Each structure stands twice: as C-alpha cells, then as structure tokens.
Amino acid sequence: MVMRKRPKLKFRQNNDENENQQFETERIRVKQLIGENTEQTVIRDTVKLPYGYPDIEEILSIDTKVKLKKAEIIPNKVIVEGKLRFKVLYTAFEKDQSVHAFDEEIEFTDFIEVEGARPGMDAEIEFVVEDFSLKLSRSCEYDLTAVLQITAKITEDREVDAIIECPMGYNCETERMSLEQVVGSNTKQILIDDEFELPDERDFLVSDVLKCMCDVEITKVRVIKNKILFDGEVDMECLYAVERRADKGKHGHGEWHADKKGHGFEDPKEDKFGVHSFERTFKFSNFIEVEGAEQGMEAYVDAMVESCSLDITDVSDCKFSPLIVLKIKARVVEDREVDVVTDIEGADVDTVTLDMESLVAEECKQVIIRDAKETPAGKPDVDKVREITVGDVVIKDVDVIQDKVLIKGTVEFEILYIAMNERKSLHTIHRKVDFKTFIDVPGARPENEADIDVEVEWANVKLEKDCELLIEAVLKVCARVTETVEQDVVIGFTPRPTVPPTTLPPTTTCVPGTTFNYTIAKGDTLSKLAQRYGTTVQAIQAANPEITNPNMLNVGDVIKIPCVAKG
C-alpha cells in the first residue's frame, strides 16, 4: 500500500470584514483506512481419495478457491477463518487411463497483525494461492501443502463536519477532494431450506449424509430508494451413503466404480452399499434496507456461507432439506467532489486527518474471446449442442501501470449437448477459457489499486467441421482505479489575538543578520512564520538546526527567527 498526502494547492480569501464567525460545513462520511498488512500461511493436511475412486496415475490439473468463513477483529489483530477448496482432475492408474475428478475442502485459521485494529471495525480479507501440491504418502493418501497469501485491510466509517467555505474576513487554503461518500450500510442473514428430491435414486435408500460444501455468489445488484435488491446463487455439493433397496439387484458386496466426473457409483448387478454425490444450485432473491440509498448510487454486496448442512426428510422418496445460512453485508456509496478548507491564516485550526480511498478514474472495455477444443477424452462425440451456461469469472492477475490496467482472468462455461450415440444421451462439458486485456485509465499509476468487474454480455457455442466446440463470448471488463490519500480537513477554528504576544515590541529594532526568539503557538508552521516575518523556511531552519522535522513543531518551544532588511 502506498499512501500519498495531498498538497495544498488552492488559496482563497474572503475580504468581508464582518466579525460574525458563522461558517458553512458539510458532513463527510468516508471509509477510513486504519491499517493494512499481508502475511503468508502454510496449510498442511492429509487427503484421502474418496471411497471407490481409482488410484492417481497423473494429476492433470488442480483448481483452487479460498473462501472467507469468518473474520474477527481483536486489538491489533484479525483472526481469519477460511476454507480452501480444490478440485483435482487426474488419469486413473488403470489400463484405460480413464479421467476422474474429486473435490475436497479444508478449513484453516490464522491471524494477521494490523496496528490500530479494534473490535467493531470492518475487515476486508483477500486470499491468493501462491503454491499448491499433492504428494503420495501411502496408498490412497496424499500429503497436501498449500501456501496462501492473506491480506487484511481494516477500515471504519468516519463522519466529520468539514468546513467547506472560508470564514468571513480570513484567508484560507482549500482542497478539492474526490471521495467515495458512504451513504449507509447494513447486514442481514438469509436462510435457504427448499426441500428437493433426487429422482435418479429411486433404486436406493439414502442412509446418511457424509459431507456438504457450499459456495455463494451474488449475481445481480440493484438500488432503489432506501433498499438494495440482490440476486444470488448457492452451489451445494454433497456426498451421501446409499443402500440398494431389497427388491433391486443382488445383495452381495461387489466392485466399486467411479464415473468420468469422479462421482461414485455401483455396479448395478453387484453392489448393495455405496457413496453417491450430487451438485445442486439454489437461486435466491432478497433485499436489505439501507437508509438514504437512491437509484443510481453504487452498491457493494458481499455474501458469506455461515452454515451448510443437509437433512434427509424422506428416506424412501430420496427427499432432502438443505439448511444454508448466509450472512449478507451491503454498503451504498456515492462518488462526490467536495471543496474543503485545509487551513485558515490567522487562526488556530482544529483538523482531522482522513486516510481514505480516492477515485482516480473508472473505465470499461469490451473484450471478445474465442476458444476451440475437441471433446475431452472419455466424453462421447457431440451430435447437437443444447445450451451454454456461464459459470465463475476469476481474475487471476491485475497490474496497474502508467495510465493503464493490465488484466488476466478465466471464464468458466458449461456446455450441455446431445451425444452421438443410439440413446442420444445428455452430457455436459466444463471448460475454462483464459482472457487477457488492458484498459486505458488516464491518471493511473503503479502504486494505485484497481477493482475489476467482468460481465459476460453474450456467449455462444457451435460445433465446427473438425468436431471442435467453438466458444465465443463478449465480455464487458471495467477497471475502477483508486488511490489511498491522507487529507487534513478543518472542522473548527479559534481566531488568534490581533497582536501575537511573541512578536517584537514596537520599540525594538530587529537588526538584519540577527535573530529574535519566538514561542511556538498552536497552528504555527514554518511556512506561516516565514510569510509573517518576511523570511524563508530555509533561513529559519538554518537558524534552528535542532528542527529535524519541519512538519512537527511543539507548542511552547522557543525558536529563532532571522531578521531581514525591510523595504
């Protein structure tokens, strides 16, 4: 993080000699940056292949995703609880070298030190998987090692009544601030418990739910008066134990298999017990109240899975009832420009320092992606494409350079197609398509931060003559570039006496080349003293070598002011 202190560029003067000290203020509410820190953590665990899955001969790919489970702020620390989820695609140690996949989820806890953090503040947590490896330790068991980079940014909403007009009869320094004004925020819990059944399991009795994993994503956000409307999806994946019904198939224990997607299944002629899995998506729509929200404002909605479980409600009919608890945090902001007073000449000022994000610029660009590949090994040939669905969009790398933002990412697609066989069976293909682009953002600099938003505006898939599936899509990629600035704003002032007590007596002559003593008063700076006594900051520093930091003057200290020739 790079913090920049804004220079004081503007100078205003109000020559009205009215002694009325009334002045105009405006309430500013910003997200104040308290501190930020990045640390590494190493996760080590033992992973077992799910029951019935063949041994791994070669790992083809590993996809990882880290989700925040909970962030608790204690003095000067943030306790982070998260979930590392990974999907392994591999070829089996079998004669046909079939392709399989399995998912796992590992929970972890760590802490990040952030000076100034206190309970009640807000924590923004970001994860980067820097390294991930699986090494065989013994039959069907693998040692997992993952290196994570965890960044914690601590903020709190701060309100100040800043003076925005120079008081009458004073000269003022002012600054125009581009800020993200916080309109309001709120939190809410959502429960998803829609009962469903698995019709494909009519031949089995479900005996136990072994494990469930949930992932949530907000897909759409809209702002209306005093409310935020949002849509989202929860992807749930569960493993459960089954037993073949007494009137179906044989009762002996047989060989266990796994299909091409890595889901366990049994030989219909032999198995009685087994482990099955399913994936299901629950869509939801809801709202959260935020006082002051208006249409056209910007809204940020974050969702976190607090609980993910599954109950069996009817064993004979394979009916399930999920219990998914989501925590929703919403914040409404408005980009504004405000002229604030940063100093008042001839007065002792009360100031507050705001450390905040300031908008540099926001730009968008359309990107076209094309990707052609053959049907994956083990999948039947394509007869006809039914539909294409857009999945996760993952930003892998963002680099801010001068006046540009470089972006790399992937878009996941799911293709549903009819197979070229006698049964005309339905199959799916999951494919990730990489993209990279840049966006011109005037004013962007390497030390700035960029938030990236990608929207898939259109997607299509078609079968080419050479049996390749061609995916085409149009992306809208937006980059919002911000900088962290430190800005002093005046919230009050006290007029100084007309004749400061430390000035030279009228009868005393200040001989050029000599100095006189001056006692530092509240609000004094070297530049103000130099202007008042007709000298320079450099001359005052030369006469006072003990001043090592010209920006830190202690009230009550006595310094020397050089005398200069008049006229």
> What are the pLDDT digits (tens) for 80-139?
999 999 988 888 887 776 778 888 889 999 999 999 999 999 999 999 898 999 988 877
CA 469 to chain centre: 34
| 513-522: pLDDT as tens digits | 888 889 888 7
Per-residue pLDDT band for 4 (boundaries 50, 70, 90) equals very low
**Separation in Å, CA 488 to CA 11, 265, 354, 361:** 15, 66, 6, 22
Q: Which two tokens stand for residue 398?
A: 């963002």
H or E segment and range at residue 541: helix 537-543
* pLDDT above 90: residue 365: yes
* pLDDT above 50: residue 262: no
Q: Average of pLDDT values for 534-546?
A: 89
Q: What mean pLDDT value characterizes the chain?
A: 83
What single-letter amino acid sits at 201? E
Rg (CA), the chain: 33
Q: Which two tokens stand for residue 147?
A: 């290196």
% of the chain surpassing 90 pLDDT: 37
Spatial CA neighbour of 21 closest among 340, 339, 346: 346
Distance CA(507)–CA(110), nearest Å, equals: 70
The pLDDT value recorded for residue 223 is 95
| Domain chopping of the chain, boundaries | 18-170, 182-246+272-336, 358-486, 499-563
The pLDDT value recorded for residue 257 is 39
* pLDDT above 50: residue 260: no
* pLDDT above 50: residue 254: no
Q: Which two tokens stand for residue 395?
A: 């930003």
**Separation in Å, CA 476 to CA 306, 335, 449, 458, 520:** 32, 21, 20, 10, 57
| 293-351: pLDDT as tens digits | 999 899 999 999 999 999 888 777 778 899 999 999 999 999 888 899 999 888 888 98
Per-residue pLDDT band for 460 (boundaries 50, 70, 90) equals very high
The pLDDT value recorded for residue 76 is 95
Distance CA(390)–CA(217), nearest Å, equals: 13
| 197-231: pLDDT as tens digits | 876 655 677 788 888 889 898 989 999 999 999 99
Distance CA(256)–CA(53), nearest Å, equals: 8
H or E segment and range at residue 129: strand 122-138
Per-residue pLDDT band for 246 (boundaries 50, 70, 90) equals low
CATH homologous superfamily of 499-563 equals LysM domain (3.10.350.10)
H/E/C letters for each residue in 323-360? EEEEEEEEEEEEEEEEEEEEEECCEEEEEEEEEEEEEE
Decide which of 480 and 499 is more confident.
Answer: 480
Distance CA(522)–CA(516), nearest Å, equals: 19
Distance CA(374)–CA(61), nearest Å, equals: 17
Q: In what order do the strands lie in the sheet with 382-401?
A: 382-401, 404-419, 426-440
The pLDDT value recorded for residue 272 is 57
% of the chain surpassing 70 pLDDT: 87
DSSP per-residue string spanning 469-483: EEEEEEEEEEEEEEE
Spatial CA neighbour of 380 closest among 332, 333, 429: 429
With 0-12 CB in 10 A as exposed, 13-18 as middle and 19+ as buried, what is 90? buried
Q: Which two tokens stand for residue 115?
A: 């000076």
Distance CA(293)–CA(331), nearest Å, equals: 9
Fill in the DSSP letter of residue 95: T
Fill in the DSSP letter of residue 496: P
| 390-411: pLDDT as tens digits | 888 888 889 999 999 999 999 9
Q: Are strands 3-5 and 468-495 parallel, antiparallel or unpaired?
A: parallel
The pLDDT value recorded for residue 567 is 56
The pLDDT value recorded for residue 205 is 77
The pLDDT value recorded for residue 508 is 52
Per-residue pLDDT band for 420 (boundaries 50, 70, 90) equals confident
Per-residue pLDDT band for 145 (boundaries 50, 70, 90) equals very high
